[in-house]
Structure 1
Amino acid sequence: MRAPLNRRVFVAGYAAATPLGNTFEKTWAAAIQGKAAFRRVTRCETESRSNVVGEIPDWDPSLLPYVNRKEASIWNADYIFLTMEMCRQALENAGLEMTEETGPRTACMIGSALNGTDSYRIAMDNYVNRGPFKVSPYLLPNVCANLPAGKAGMLLNFTGPIFSPQGACASGNHAIAIGSRMIRDGDCDFVLAGGVETCIIPEIIQGFSNMLATIKVGHKDRAYDDPTQASRPFSLDRKGFVLSEGAGVLLLAAEDKIESLGLSKKAEVAGVGWTSDAKHFTRPNRETIVRAIHDAIYDAEISPQDIGSINAHGTSTPTGDATEVECMREVFGKEISKIPVTANKSQVGHSLGASAAIEAALSIEAMSQSILLPTVNHIPDPAFADIDVVPSQTRKHSYEHILSNSFGFGGTNCCIVFKGI
């Protein structure tokens, strides 16, 4: 194989749809106001006590100009149209046009933890209640992980490599990492990288509830009368994550192409660290997480003291948050008290395979504006007294490097260092 080009890789644009808003602009406007966006589920009916979720507001793909009745009927896995629209918006945000030159050099990799589970549910309902011949012949494409990227390519006219990095809740960071390596080496010039999740269906809600991963909101819980308080990373009374739908897509670009096309640089993908736990399928492994963080910092060719802010995985689970704090203490030592730690899941919930990409976009925007987004709903935990979680409200802060952590089921870890411009 030929030698890599060793090009620098930058984020040139992004898009996101979250419970805070169906575009990045709406999400950002609500995020800087310190809002959280959770409610009792409306997408489906469930008897689960884990019925507080994050739903994308005002999201109706049938209103998109490229979705007709036939398309809507065939492609009934919601993550497909959500991916298509976020890729379109990311290109628009970056100002990159797909041409005979750029299209073949543009790749797309959108990760997802659960893929087209909603489409499979429809097929099973038809199979049981209407018979085997009522199962859609489009079921298999709907559940293929690469299909959303493929449909985005058909809509937007790019023909570079497409696939779906499957890293569970770290999928978005894996997509960014792999895409950056591909651009660095010269396999492509642009990559639409991120994650998508449309997971609000009864079986998924109940499954997470049964494994004691999501919060159960009882009468005495502070979120009972105010569901927006359900997600509270690093808080004394954290009880589990809030399951959310969402999508985030970053447009990555080679430095030379950004300059020749006059695009803007939002941040540089400076370092990547990725490991696996080889320990347990849900319980995090401190040793390998610490190594992933160290590797990301080493890859960025900086020192731990150069990190100006940390975007935590911060799911709001008792064990997960505690382990992440232990890992940060081991990497940064006593200096950890001086490094602000933000947990975006306090505002947008946990959108599984989409979460890391959404958090990357929010982190980069915050760094570019010299501010820190808050960790809302916070009640101090004495065990984390040395951790500055930026409670309650947005804060001014200038910094050059941000560490973004992401960990997933199966014991997969991916940490990325972004450098400001």
Structure 2
Amino acid sequence: MHRVVITGMGVISALGNNQEAFWSSLASGTPAISEITSIDVSDLRFKNAAEVKGYVPEQHFPAKDLAFLDRFAQFALIAAEEAVKQSGIEWTEALREDAAVITGSSLGGRAAEEAGYWELFHHNRTRVHPLTIPLSMSNAGASHISIRYGLQGPAYTISTACSSSAHAIGQAFHLVRSGIAPAAITGGSEATVFIGNLKAWEAMRVISKDTCRPFSADRSGLILGEGGAMLVLEPLEAALARGATPLAEIVGFGMTSDASHLTQPSHIGAARAMSKAIRDSGLAPEQFGYINAHGTATVANDRTETAAIREVFGPHANHLAISSTKSMHGHTLGAAGALEAVASILTLRNGILPPTANYTTQDPECDLDVIPNEPRPKQVEACLSNSFAFGGLNAVLAFRAYSWPGGESLTPNISA
């Protein structure tokens, strides 16, 4: 079994179109929630989302490639490019043969499907765009990344609603740790801002009309976001052998199913997933100092997650710092686990805990330290990143700082 480290990360989100801009906004507690500008939302009950701003596809892709790329797949490729560049990995023939690409997306290219349906049913056309299938298939992001870098190992997409990219990262972790894959590009992407999706969420009555206030007593629902994030995973010994700098270590993964209700979360399933991730990490619960919470700002999620954290950590829950970065970058559905994994890793590296923004008043049933509104300078050794999805599907990632606290390696004993 190999120790697995992250050597590269890439991000495109409402908080910024690269890793540096993303962290700058997170570390200053600056939300990116505003009125939707990319489409007409005059017929919607809510007007706000966390859109990717200042993004011009033609600056990243030639026209011939854009014809095959839905917005969500564009985000996947852009994030992968930044991650691969930071990692400095050289795709040798041997590495290409078995390297994995595991991505997550809940919606895939459903916007492309919607455009086709609009032509059929509104304009009474008899045919749709000939590339509708390759544009809309959920595995398009993984396939395009595989093609871009010539990676011929396992390549697939996981779709488990809001846990999709956390499941993807966990699966990639297992592949690299076991030695099945010598490296992996993993993460997720999502393009949520199209009218059919917005109308579907409007019908569920869980979208806030103003902003996202996780754990706050006056929270009124989630805010949708869009974007993508990718990680490069490698065995520690391979990374060190080529002179790479590990950004953090992924040490555990836990996944469970509530097996109880399609839309109402269970604290038992969430607690089991966290416990599994902690056990898998080999760390004591007390070594964890931060949790990037799922924190959707719905009454059901926030109270359930609080109860789950208290069940898992017991008295140590009172010493944990917890925040929901969805309060800043919105809920990106299938990409949420990937964006929040990057946020967690940057938290470990930079010694700053990002806040839960927009917080006003404590909910007595959410009585944890949720880092309200202001970032907090604090170095922690390890953290969890929680992802809980409709369908009762839970995925929790455990990360550890690569060195702690004064630069010494946390991974002196490498097993092959």
Q: TM-score normalised by the shorter chain: which range applies?
A: over 0.9
CA distance in 2, matches of 1:162, 1:350: 25
* Partner residue, 2:375: 394
Which AA in structure 1 matches 2:118? D
* Partner residue, 2:15: 20
Residue 69 of structure 1 deviates from its aligned partner by 2.3
Which AA in structure 1 matches 2:184? V
> Residues 86-108 of structure 1: CA distance to partner in whole angstroms, max 9, x if unpaired?
11111001111323233223211
Alignment of 1:93-104 (within 5 A): 93-104=86-97
Q: Does 1:378 align with 2:359?
A: yes
* Partner residue, 2:398: 417
Alignment of 1:20-419 (within 5 A): 20-46=15-41, 47-64=43-60, 67-75=61-69, 77-131=70-124, 133-215=126-208, 217=209, 223=210, 230-384=211-365, 386-419=367-400
Contact 2:269–2:392 under 8 Å retained in 1: no
Contact 1:14–1:251 under 8 Å retained in 2: yes
Contact 2:4–2:236 under 8 Å retained in 1: yes
Query: % of aligned pairs identical?
Result: 31
Which AA in structure 2 matches 1:54? A
Residue 385 of structure 1 deviates from its aligned partner by 6.6
Task: Give the 3-state SS of the residue equivalent to 2:395 in structure 1.
Answer: strand
Residue 130 of structure 1 deviates from its aligned partner by 4.9
Which AA in structure 2 matches 1:370? G
> What is the number of equivalent residue pairs in this alignment?
401
* Partner residue, 1:220: none
Which AA in structure 1 matches 2:166? N
Residue 382 of structure 1 deviates from its aligned partner by 4.2
Q: Structure 1 regions of 5+ residues with no counterpart? A: 1-5, 218-222, 224-229
> Residues 134-160 of structure 1: CA distance to partner in whole angstroms, max 9, x if unpaired?
312211122222121111222222222
CA distance in 2, matches of 1:385, 1:69: 49
Please provide the CA RMSD for this pair: 1.4
Residue 72 of structure 1 deviates from its aligned partner by 2.2
* Partner residue, 1:226: none
CA distance in 1, matches of 2:19, 2:283: 30
Is the deviation greater in 151-160 or in 202-211? 151-160
Contact 1:145–1:163 under 8 Å retained in 2: no
* Partner residue, 2:406: none
Q: Structure 2 regions of 5+ residues with no counterpart? A: 403-416
CA distance in 1, matches of 2:298, 2:361: 15
Task: Give the 3-state SS of the residue equivalent to 1:101 in structure 2.
Answer: helix
> Residues 332-376 of structure 1: CA distance to partner in whole angstroms, max 9, x if unpaired?
123212110011101111000101111111111111112211111
Contact 2:215–2:363 under 8 Å retained in 1: no
Residue 402 of structure 1 deviates from its aligned partner by 0.2
Which AA in structure 1 matches 2:50? G
Question: With structure 2 as the length reference, what TM-score do the two structures score?
Answer: 0.93
Which AA in structure 2 matches 1:38? I
Change (3 A) 1:232 1:128: same
Contact 1:196–1:353 under 8 Å retained in 2: yes
Question: With structure 1 as the length reference, what TM-score do the two structures score?
Answer: 0.92
> Residues 62-85 of structure 1: CA distance to partner in whole angstroms, max 9, x if unpaired?
211xx222332343x211121111
Contact 2:215–2:366 under 8 Å retained in 1: no
